[in-house]
């Protein structure tokens, strides 16, 4: 456990050694800030059944930012170690492969949480300035941020997997971007093609982040989503672990 | 300390290490030599548990490097080729991180990190970012890392590559000092260094062992172990025939250089016929301007072993 924490600490720190972290943070806060502003502006223009939280977490800028933010977080985690050869020093220390994989994922997750944490301030400021609740129930806060966390975990694990495939960070970023965009678009199939079989519609909606976020940002917390994103993350991390071992043993 | 049995590593299409077996006893400093691509780094990577062998076994301090990899790693300090380090960390920070990974914590961590910084002369750069350090310092950071957990065994892959002569000398002295307390397996291309530091040499070529012995024995066992050079004016005498009669001389050849005859005598390394040559020359009233002995070096052995088929 101490070894895992040591590895995790180094992973988290390594984000803040490089200027990329600060660039990503700035870019992300600008984007989410703009998204929040435009959601509030949209709601103030015309009467709507949406709460501020729903409007914020279901808009187009939200999803664009959400998808764009993942590749730069995860692209370097394994690719850089393979490129610099530090994987050899790392893996000849008495650490286990799964400790390394989990610490890389954990480091990315911590950074991801650091990215999202300030956005909660938007709602705090909003409620204090406007003296109106941003949501109709506290559950909507929990739901939205839980969904951000769960989808984030799945996407970060996909990013780790993309990074372990190559020693080129750009290639890792592109693979990651393509995979998560495909996954995102998969959830839109039902919108674009109305006359598909009910079974297929069921299947796509089971995987549709958009629908899940819609439910959760209303405060409807559904345990099926935990199973879906949890098992997806575990699967991707297992794949990452296997490819990691394979690449090390082949080199 | 190290036991390698029938080790083989195949990559797609070629065999890097072919049925290699050797042992390293406790307290030895063993030089692991071979031309580039001979399989040195591959063998060292297998020993360091970085990757598994295709077949065969290797163990360190009695622990199998594959099945008991964690224990084997605890007994081993490994410095990979080119010393990969995290360029964004500071020296002390990096050593602390590595110490924690090797389960050295608390007061013992402070003590060990202090010790290795002292030993590898890193005090003056302890707060510098590794990325800004010179090659020599990076090499020493790598060595300091390998020494952190006071391992019984050190495996150093080309510890002096890319260093200037002064740095090479420093690293060599450091290795020799370390040899008092550690078993060391090191690979290098600088052969005089091996002659000076190593108690035993393993030469591999194309994935197989060509020779394993002390540097002296290897040199002595060479076909043409030594040579004597005689520059003289021999007048009308047949120098080649006269010198050839001396005991221990295997072969004599002659060249002429601005009026002087230059004889090259091949002898075995145990006999030194210089006294007899001088007496012969004095008896025949030859004028001598040089009489010298050249001992074969490990370099000669290396070239003969690894180029054997081609020359």
What letter does residue A196 receive in the DSSP assignment? S
Q: Are A92 and B51 an interchain contact pair (Cβ–Cβ within 8 Å)?
A: no
CATH number of B2-217: 3.40.50.300
Which of A7, A83, A94, A245 to mutate against chain B (most B CBs within 10 Å)? A94
Rounded to two decimals, the ipTM of the complex is 0.87
Domain boundaries, chain B: 2-217, 226-295
Q: What is the pLDDT of residues A88-147, one digit of tens each?
A: 999 999 999 999 999 999 999 999 999 999 999 998 888 888 887 777 778 888 899 999
Name every chain A residue with its beta carbon within 8 A of the beta carbon of B52. 249
Q: What are the per-10-residue average pLDDT scores of chain B (311 residues)?
A: 90 86 90 87 91 91 91 92 91 95 92 92 92 90 92 90 82 85 88 84 88 81 70 84 82 85 79 84 88 80 71 41
Which residues, other chains included, contact A210 with Cβ-Cβ below 8 Å and sequence gap of 6+?
Answer: A58, A63, A187, A188
pLDDT at A244: 94
Q: What is the pLDDT of residues A209-245, one digit of tens each?
A: 888 998 898 888 889 999 999 999 999 999 999 999 9
Which residues, other chains included, contact B309 with Cβ-Cβ below 8 Å and sequence gap of 6+?
Answer: none
pLDDT at A5: 93
- First-residue to last-residue Cα distance in chain A: 28
Which residues, other chains included, contact B174 with Cβ-Cβ below 8 Å and sequence gap of 6+?
Answer: B119, B120, B143
Which residues, other chains included, contact A79 with Cβ-Cβ below 8 Å and sequence gap of 6+?
Answer: A163, A164, A166, A167, A168, A169, A171, A172
Name every chain B residue with its beta carbon within 8 A of the beta carbon of A93. 73, 98, 101-102
Q: What is the pLDDT of residues A1-35, one digit of tens each?
A: 889 999 999 999 999 888 878 988 998 999 999 99
Do residues A146 and A221 lie in contact, with contact meaning Cβ atoms separated by under 8 Å?
yes
Minimal C-alpha gap between B54 and chain A (Å) = 10
Give how far Cα B274 sits from Cα of B60, B228, B258, B260, B292, Å.
48, 8, 24, 19, 8
Torsion of CA A82, A85, A88, A93, to 10 degrees: -100
Element (H, E) at B249: strand B249-257
Q: Are B84 and A18 an interchain contact pair (Cβ–Cβ within 8 Å)?
A: no
Expressed as residue numbers, the domain containing A115 is 2-250
Q: Are B102 and A94 an interchain contact pair (Cβ–Cβ within 8 Å)?
A: yes
Q: What is the pLDDT of residues B119-148, one digit of tens each?
A: 888 999 999 999 999 888 898 899 999 999
Instruction: Quote the strand ranges of chain A, DSSP E.
Output: none
A46 band by pLDDT with thresholds 50, 70 and 90: confident
Q: Which of A62, A225, A112 is nearest to A52 (CA)?
A: A62
Q: Which of A148, A125, A123, A142 is nearest to A134 (CA)?
A: A123
- What is the 3-class SS of B110-147, one letter each residue? HHHHHHHHHHCCCHHHCCCEHHHCCHHHHHHHHHHHHH
Give CA–CA dist B225/B240, Å, rounded: 20
- How many domains in chain A? 1
Give CA–CA dist B18/B6, Å, rounded: 8
pLDDT at B225: 56
- Would you tell me which CATH number, out of the four given (3.40.50.2020, 3.30.70.260, 3.40.50.720, 1.10.3720.10), belongs to the domain B226-295? 3.30.70.260
Which of B101, B147, B157 to mutate against chain A (most A CBs within 10 Å)? B101
Give CA–CA dist B155/B309, Å, rounded: 30
Give CA–CA dist A129/B258, Å, rounded: 104
pLDDT at A43 over 50: yes
Do residues B197 and B31 lie in contact, with contact meaning Cβ atoms separated by under 8 Å?
yes
Q: Are B70 and A94 an interchain contact pair (Cβ–Cβ within 8 Å)?
A: yes
Report the side by side order of strands in the sheet with B249-257.
B249-257, B260-267, B226-233, B287-295
The pTM assigned to this predicted structure is 0.86
Give the burial string for B275-308 (b: 16+ CB within 10 Å, else e). ebbeebbeeeebeeeebeeeebebebbbebbbee
Q: Are A89 and B105 an interchain contact pair (Cβ–Cβ within 8 Å)?
A: no
């Amino acid at each position: 456990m101490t070894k895992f924490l040591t590895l995790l600490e180094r992973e988290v720190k390594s984000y803040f050694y490089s200027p990329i972290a600060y660039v990503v943070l700035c870019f992300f806060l600008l984007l989410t800030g703009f998204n929040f502003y435009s959601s509030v502006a949209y709601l103030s223009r015309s009467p709507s059944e949406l709460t501020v939280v729903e409007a914020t977490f279901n808009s187009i800028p939200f999803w664009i930012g959400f998808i764009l933010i993942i590749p730069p977080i995860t692209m370097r985690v394994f690719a850089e170690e393979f490129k610099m050869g530090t994987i050899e020093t790392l893996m000849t220390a008495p650490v286990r492969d799964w400790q390394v994989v989990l610490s890389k994922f954990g480091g990315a997750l911590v950074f991801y949480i650091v990215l999202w944490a300030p956005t909660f301030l938007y709602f705090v400021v909003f409620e204090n300035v406007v003296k109106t609740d941003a949501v109709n129930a506290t559950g909507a806060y929990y739901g939205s941020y839980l969904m951000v966390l769960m989808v984030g975990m799945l996407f970060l694990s996909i990013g780790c997997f993309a990074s372990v495939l190559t020693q080129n960070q750009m290639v890792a970023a592109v693979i990651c971007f393509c995979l998560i965009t495909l996954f995102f678009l998969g959830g839109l199939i039902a919108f674009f093609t109305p006359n598909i079989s009910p079974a297929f519609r069921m299947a796509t909606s089971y995987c549709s982040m958009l629908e899940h976020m819609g439910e959760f940002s209303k405060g409807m917390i559904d345990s099926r989503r935990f199973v879906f994103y949890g098992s997806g993350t575990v699967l991707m991390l297992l794949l990452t672990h296997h490819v990691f071992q394979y690449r090390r043993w082949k080199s | 300390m190290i036991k390698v049995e029938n080790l083989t590593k195949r990559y797609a299409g070629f065999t890097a290490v072919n049925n290699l077996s050797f042992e390293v006893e406790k307290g030895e400093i063993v030089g692991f030599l071979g031309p580039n691509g001979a399989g040195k780094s591959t063998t060292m990577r297998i020993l360091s548990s970085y990757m598994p062998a295709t077949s065969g076994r290797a163990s360190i301090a009695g622990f199998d490097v594959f099945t008991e990899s964690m224990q084997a790693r605890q007994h081993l300090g490994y410095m990979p080729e080119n010393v990969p380090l995290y360029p964004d960390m500071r020296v002390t920070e990096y050593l602390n991180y590595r110490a924690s990974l090797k389960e050295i914590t608390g007061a013992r961590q402070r003590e060990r990190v202090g010790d290795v910084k002292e030993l590898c002369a890193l005090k003056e750069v302890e707060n510098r970012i590794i990325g800004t350090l010179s090659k020599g310092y990076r090499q020493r950071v790598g060595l300091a890392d390998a020494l952190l957990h006071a391992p019984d065994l050190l495996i150093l892959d080309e510890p002096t590559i890319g260093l200037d002569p002064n740095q090479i000398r420093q690293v060599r002295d450091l290795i020799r000092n370390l040899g008092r307390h550690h078993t060391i397996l090191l690979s290098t291309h600088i052969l005089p260094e091996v002659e000076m530091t190593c108690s035993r040499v393993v030469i591999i070529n194309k994935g197989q062992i060509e020779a394993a012995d002390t540097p002296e024995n290897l040199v002595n066992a060479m076909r043409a172990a030594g040579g004597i050079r005689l520059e003289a004016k021999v007048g009308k005498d047949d120098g080649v025939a006269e010198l050839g009669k001396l005991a221990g001389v295997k072969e004599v050849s002659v060249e002429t250089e601005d009026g002087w005859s230059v004889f090259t005598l091949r002898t075995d390394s145990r006999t030194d016929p210089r006294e007899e040559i001088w007496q012969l020359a004095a008896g025949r009233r030859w004028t001598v301007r040089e009489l010298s002995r050249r001992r074969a070096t490990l370099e000669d052995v290396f070239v003969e072993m690894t180029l054997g088929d081609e020359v």
